[in-house]
Each structure stands twice: as C-alpha cells, then as structure tokens.
Amino acid sequence: MATTKSVTVGWECLANGRTDEWPGESFAATLTLQNVSGAPLAAGWALYFNTCRQVVEGSADAGFIIEHVNGDLFRLTRSGACAWQAGQVHAINYRARFWAISVTDAPLGFYLVPGDGGPAIDLGDARIVPFTRPQQLRRSLNDRVPVQDASARFCQNMQARLLPVQQVGRITPKPLSAVFIEGQCVLARDTDLVCDSALAGEAAYLRALLAGLPGLPAAGGATIVLELGEPGTPGDEAYLLELTTATLRLRGASPHGVFNGIQTLAQLLCAATGTAPLGRVIDAPRFGYRGMMLDVARHFASVDTVMRLLDCMARYKLNRFHFHLTDDEGWRLEIAGLPELTEVGARRGVALDGQPCLPPAFGSGADIETSAGTGFYSAGDFIAILRHAHCLHIEVIPEFNLPGHARAAVVAMRVRHDRLRAAGDVNAAEEYLLSDPDDASLYQSVQLWRDNVICIARPSVDRFIDSVVDAVCALFRAAGAPLRAIHTGGDEVPAGAWLGSPLCRRRMAEHGWTGVGELRDDFVRRCRAILERHGLGFAGWEEAVPAAGDLTRAVEAGPNFQLYVWNNAWGSGMEDGAYRLANAGYSVVLANAAHLYFDLACAKDPEEPGYYWAGFVETRNAFTFCPLDATLTAGFDAMGQPVAAPTLAAMRRLDAAGAARIAGLQGQLWGENTPSRERLEYMVAPRLLALAERAWAPDPGWHLMFDPARRGQRIERDWNEFANRLGQRDLPRLDCAPLAYGYRLPPPGVALDAAAGTILANVALPGLALHYTVDGSEPAQTSARYRDPVAANGCAVFKIATFDTRGRKSRSVTLDLEPQP
C-alpha cells in the first residue's frame, strides 16, 4: 500500500441552512485538492473518503461527480479524460445532508486510486478550516444551543466552587455510610492478612494493590482480616470496612462484596505513607446492574485497551461489561468452524492481494494492515479478557448484533458460500448463508448501508446463530467465567428490509403473516429458543420487541429476557419508552442516549470530538440523570429547546412493579469516533465515574423535593461536591500507575474583566491545575500556575490549559490582547 501523499486535502464548511435550490436541511462545503506529487496524475483517478453526512447527489461543481459507494464511503471522480497536472488545485463545492458544526462532521480517511492502475494511496484526514462564523456554528434556525467557547465555559464553570478538601467526599461512588475519626490505620509490607479460604482471589488482589504503593513501610502494620458474613446492610455486594490502629477488617456478604470493599480501601489509602483514616464504612449498591458497553466493531480495541477499561470499571464498582463485538463494519471474535468471520469481517481497507475484506469506514483508510478497523480477538485473547473480568467480578455480556447492523457477517458468509460452491460443495455452501441472493429490497440504514440486514427466513440463519452461541459458550467455559445471557442487538433495522426477498415473502405467505413485523417477531422467538437450549437468557435493544406502548405483548417478556433501552432522547417521542416497557413486564437496563451515550460530544465546541444527535453529554448530564424519574432533570432537547410542560406531563411514570424491574444503568461508548486508545479513554472518563455514582450511590432524594427552586439548589450543591471530588481526589488517583487512565481534561473557561484590567480563568472540575503563559507560547506544567486574576496590561497573547498531575494537558485556550489593525 502506497503511503506517499500525492494529494493534499483541505475541507471547509461554508454555511449550514436551506437555500432556494436545496430546500432540505443541508450545508455547503468545499473540498480543496492539490496534486503535490511533482508529476501529472493519469486521467481516471478516483478519490475516496468517509463521511457521516451523506452528500447530496448532483450537488458537486460541474466537471466533478461525488457518488455514494455504500455505508459512509463516497467516491469523487472527474468527468472527461483529463490528467491532473502537477501543482494543480481543484476547489470543489458540494452540499451534504443535515449540518456540519464540528470536526466530527468533516469527511476523513481520504485515499486516492490512481488512474494508471497503481495501488491505492492513503492521504489521511483533511486539513479542516476552523469553524468561526455563525453560519458554520448553528445547525438551523431552531438551534438554540450556544457554542461553548472560552467565555461560555467561564460562565458555566462559575457554578462549580472550590471546596475545602475536608468538605469533599473521600469515596466514589458515595457509600451508604462513612464515618471517620482522627488517627491513622498503618499498613506495611509485612502486614498479616487473614482471610476465609473462599477469599483467596480477593486476598491476592489486595496484596498486589499494597505492593504497588511506593510509600508502604516495611514493618509494623495493622492486621488485615477479610471475611464473609453479615455486613450490616442487605445485598450480595454489600460490605463493611472497619479501620482501627490494630486491625483493618473487611467483611462482605460475598466475595464480590469484599472486592467492592477493597476498591473503597484503595481510595482511602495514601500511596505515599501506606496509611488510611480510622473509621467505618457500610455500603451496598442502589442497582444490581451497573454496566459499560464498548463497541469494538467500528474501530478495534486491543486486548490491553479492553483490560484497562475493565480495571477502570472495577475501581468504581461497575459489574457488567457489555461487549459489542460485531456490527456492519467489523466482526471481532474468532469463531471455531467459521474462519471467514475474521478473515473477511475483521479486515478493512483496499485489498491488494485479491483477498476479500470490508471497505474503509469512519476514516480507517485503504491500508488493511495499519487500519484501526482491522483486528480481532483470537480464542486465547478472548479467554484472557474473560478471566481478567472475572477476577474483577465483572460479568461479560457479549453482543452479536442482528438482524440489522450485520453486514460484516453477511459478507463473510457470502464469501464462504462462494468459495465452497466453486469447490463443488453446494450443501456446505448453503449451510451458513445469511443472505437471499435474489433479494431486491430497497433500504438504507441509519449509517447508509444498503445491504446490512440478515435474511431471517433462511434456516441457515438459525444454524449460524446456534454455531456462534455454541462457540461462545465453549470460550466462557474455558475461561471459567459465567455466561448468563447473550445480547443479540436487534436495533435500527431499516424500513424496506425483507420486502423484496422471495424467501421472506414465501415464509410470510406460509404463515399467513401480513407484515414484516410478524416475520421479525418469529425471528426473535427463534433466537430465544436457541439461547434457551444453551441455558442462556436473551438480551437485546428495545427494538427486539414491538412498540414500547404495546402493553398487550407483556407476555413475551418472561424470565431471562432483558431489554436495553437507548432511544429516549428528548424530542424523540420515546422519552418514556423504558418506563412503559418496565410497567409492561420487561426487565430494563437504562441506556439513555441523552445521559449515558459517551460517544456523544461533551459540549458544542467545534474541536470537541463526538456526535450530538441526542444532545451534548457532559459529565454533569450523567450525574444529574434520575433513573426512576427522568422528568426531574429534563432540561433541553438536542437543539437546546426547553422540554415542553405537556411533553413532561404526558410521560408515563413507573408504577411500583415497573420500578422494581429497572435492573440498572449502563453507559455506552459506540466506536465510530474512537480510532485509538487515547480517544477511547478521553471519551469514557470522567463520565464513567458519574455513571458509577448514579448507579451505586444512594438515591439523592431529588424527587422528594417538589419545589423546583429548592430541588435545583440541592442538585447544584450535590454536583459541586461531586465536581470537587473528581478534581481534588478521583482524577489524581486515575493519574497513578499502573492504570494512569487517559481521561478528558476540560479546557478552562476564560474571561476578560475590562474594568479591572484582569484576565479571569476557571475550570469545570475544581482542583485541577491551570497553567498559563502571556507571550503566546504553549503552556506547560512548568508555566505559571493560575491562582488569581492575571493583569492584562503588557500581556500580548494569553494562553492557558488544564493539567493533570502527570503533566498531560487539555486543549489550550487563547486570548489575543494585541490591538488589531
């Protein structure tokens, strides 16, 4: 694969909004391309790129054509037989659907296929012209969300006040009860550790934790006692931690409870001295299900990256890892007997050797070997992940998404079919085929695929699912880890699927079904039966059942059937879908997009990565989420419009039985915008900590305050304490080895006080350090630390950034004070 850049690419959003010529929601943009190869490029070249914004057909400037290939892949060609001369620049205007207000909306992953038949050349991402003008920063006339620039951040951050450390909680998530007194419990390297035989794993974990403390004294520590028993509060995960000068006693209702207590102890220990405060903690979780979903199908995440996420989850007492292993853009798990799933479905790019693979997506580029879209977990890799999770008392719930979002599997099994058929083995070729070769259905998925849905009328689909489930069960057995349920996806099947499939039409006719909904229900029943034969429960997104308002189908719920409800963003019309399903008899995991989708951008800032279709999700959104009454902190819809009172009044509330069926909460990190470990960890934390707080900590009681003003004051008080807890305690802990997690550092807020002649700055999480320069140079940890307003006089260019204790920094914020000509 060629890597020398022969073409440079620039991109600019010109303006969002409708025009007389293009009345739909769209934006105008310019691609600027220059041949920098030093020689002409032969006629017939094609430039490919990925974009989440579908290009409007026929909108490109005369002489150029932009075509939709499939998914988010587009192709730009030049009409006529013209060579591209050395140094020649093409500035091509076009329009695309919806809007572009951030770097995430820009096209990416450009590669050139030369006209002379040479190999594809990766060009990387475009140089993006900054978003500065109002027409670039506002989606439409309905967009009321202000841009979070330095000034807006300053105003917002003023709500978070720095608290004395003694007023900041020591433990995250907040425990049921924690009382501390003067004095220290000292641990040492030779500390005696006494434990029940059933707690050998927890004892080994604790010894490893203590061994990593640099300041632990060699001798003279208190005795540690780990035991099983009644901790003083109900629940399998409950624990009691007692710290005296002579003894550290940790009693759990189960080994998991003891493990939870160790996580609390780890937060209380001073690494420099090996001491913890004297006191007593009694604790148990609010919800039994406290999860995090990671999508590795869109971009592959290494084993080490996954294990780091598991370690971070365990620190904050999360106990479910929803592993999204397959989607349109990738199949990530080796399955015995079906090698094509990874030979084809785990490779993305442009193949030079003729071997089939998936096309580039989300900017993954043409080179298969270096693509962030290439990779899979071998059986050994997966077993290692399962064992690591099991040691951390985290249950893994694998997901294999179908019948939609299944293109990687569909393509892989078609390759298998064609190979075996060419070898003359027709029966084997049909054994696991997932598509109808005569399907003429016309549809387009939400991510622009036209061929990503399994033909659910084929008996071979059932054989495929059974084989995958059987292989997964074997991997869990080999790991010694529990497998209670498999998540089968079920979301976002596009309208039009199956309508043009002769096989589907025939099955519908045989059963007297009048719509594809009945065909879909039959498929769900078959999936449940397969899972039940393996002793497993069924899990799926809410689309796995009929409309959430159809209470007549509650009988379908039954035991071992859990729904994960995501599409409840304000303005979606499904704001209360989770509550309707729970009231109807389903066990529900809350996966609310507007609060718990960590792939969404933290703020309306052009430089902030992430989507924003359900709004902007900052740490505060997750913290202020009220699981059992989302109306309490409804706020605004994705466009910044206040949620209307009639909408709130019409929402279904949970009845007592429905509230008992809310199993818990789960954060989601979809992988479209996580091509690296650094980006993944940036998107996960500190939002993961707010998720843990809301899933574990006691109900803060906001719903008991009927006066909105009083309730708002309490929420502000609670948020301020949590923000200080993050800034002063938790994030510095995450800086420490061996984890040293790469969480997001919020950029500072900055304002100019013209009357006082000073520059003011603040940060969203009090306690984080701000460092600045006044000469335009980039701030470093050695630069002056901001503590008080800085005199503006004599300051040409003020730059400031947020820093962690390791020296990592946020994006710098610049205030240019030089007079403009």
DSSP string, 47-85: EEEE-SSPBPTT-SPTTEEEEEEETTEEEEEESSS--B-
In three-state form (DSSP H/G/I as H, E/B as E, the rest C), the secondary structure along 545-568 is CCCCCCHHHHHHCCCCEEEEECCC
pLDDT digits (tens, 9 = 90+) for 293-333: 999 999 999 999 999 999 999 999 999 999 999 999 999 99
Q: Which alpha helices (DSSP H) does 352-399 contain, by range?
A: 379-391
Residue 26, SS3 per DSSP:
strand
The band of 558, judged by pLDDT with boundaries at 50, 70 and 90, is low
Which helix (H) or strand (E) covers residue 16, if one does?
Answer: strand 7-16
Residue type, 736: C
479 Cβ neighbours under 8 A, 6+ residues apart: 382, 383, 386, 387, 390
Nearest Cα to 654, choosing from 598, 576, 729, 757?
576
Segment 478-502 mean pLDDT: 97
Which helix (H) or strand (E) covers residue 770, if one does?
Answer: strand 769-773
Nearest Cα to 428, choosing from 312, 533, 525, 337?
337
**Per-residue model confidence (pLDDT) at position 817:** 84
Distances (CA, A) of 489 to 111, 226, 475, 505, 730: 32, 40, 20, 24, 34
Strand 320-324 vs strand 749-753: parallel, antiparallel, or unpaired? unpaired
295 within 8 A of 671, measured Cβ to Cβ: yes
Asked whether this chain's domains 177-283 and 708-821 adopt the same fold, the reply is: no
Strand 247-252 vs strand 239-243: parallel, antiparallel, or unpaired? antiparallel
Segment 673-696 mean pLDDT: 98
pLDDT digits (tens, 9 = 90+) for 581-619: 999 999 999 999 999 999 999 999 999 999 999 999 999
Q: How far apart (Å, rounded) are the C-alpha atoms in residues 817 and 210?
A: 51
pLDDT digits (tens, 9 = 90+) for 452-475: 999 999 999 999 999 999 999 999
In the residue annotation, 492 being an active-site residue is answered as: yes
Inform me whether the pLDDT recorded for 1 exceeds 80.
Answer: no
**Per-residue model confidence (pLDDT) at position 555:** 44
CATH architecture assignment, domain 708-821: Sandwich (2.60)
**Per-residue model confidence (pLDDT) at position 88:** 96
**Superfamily of 289-707 according to CATH:** Glycosidases (3.20.20.80)
Q: How far apart (Å, rounded) are the C-alpha atoms in residues 127 and 108?
A: 10
Q: pTM of the predicted model, to two decimals?
A: 0.97
591 within 8 A of 566, measured Cβ to Cβ: yes
Calculate helix-pair angle for 200-211, 255-268, nearest 10 degrees. Answer: 10
**Per-residue model confidence (pLDDT) at position 2:** 44
DSSP string, 574-628: -TTHHHHHHHTT-EEEE--HHHHBTTB-SSS-TTS-SB-TT----HHHHHT--TT
Q: Which candidate in 25, 227, 492, 721 is catalytic?
A: 492
Out of 2.60.40.290, 1.10.10.60, 3.50.50.60, 3.20.20.370, the CATH code matching 7-143 is: 2.60.40.290
Tokens describing residue 251: 């009693």
780 Cβ neighbours under 8 A, 6+ residues apart: 771, 807, 809
pLDDT digits (tens, 9 = 90+) for 743-788: 999 999 999 999 999 999 999 999 999 999 999 999 999 999 999 9
Tokens describing residue 248: 């550290």
> To 10 degrees, the CA torsion angle through 784, 787, 788, 794?
10
Inform me whether the pLDDT recorded for 548 exceeds 50.
Answer: no
Q: How far apart (Å, rounded) are the C-alpha atoms in residues 98 and 54?
A: 8
Other CB atoms closer than 10 Å to residue 702's CB: what's the count?
Answer: 17
The distance in angstroms from the start CA to the end CA of the chain is: 49
The length of the chain is 821
Lowest mean pLDDT among 82-86, 261-265, 387-391, 394-398: 82-86
293 within 8 A of 669, measured Cβ to Cβ: yes
Q: How far apart (Å, rounded) are the C-alpha atoms in residues 390 and 387?
A: 5
Tokens describing residue 626: 């009220």
pLDDT digits (tens, 9 = 90+) for 495-528: 999 999 999 999 999 999 999 999 999 999 999 9
290 within 8 A of 665, measured Cβ to Cβ: yes
Task: Give me the chain's average pLDDT, please.
Answer: 95
Owner of token pair 């996420």? 309
Inform me whether the pLDDT recorded for 549 exceeds 50.
Answer: no
**Per-residue model confidence (pLDDT) at position 546:** 66
The full set of domain ranges for the chain reads 7-143, 177-283, 289-707, 708-821
The band of 551, judged by pLDDT with boundaries at 50, 70 and 90, is very low
Tokens describing residue 259: 């493990």
Residue type, 289: Y
Q: How far apart (Å, rounded) are the C-alpha atoms in residues 42 and 440?
A: 37
Q: What is the third-level CATH fold of 177-283?
A: Chitobiase; domain 2 (3.30.379)
601 within 8 A of 676, measured Cβ to Cβ: no
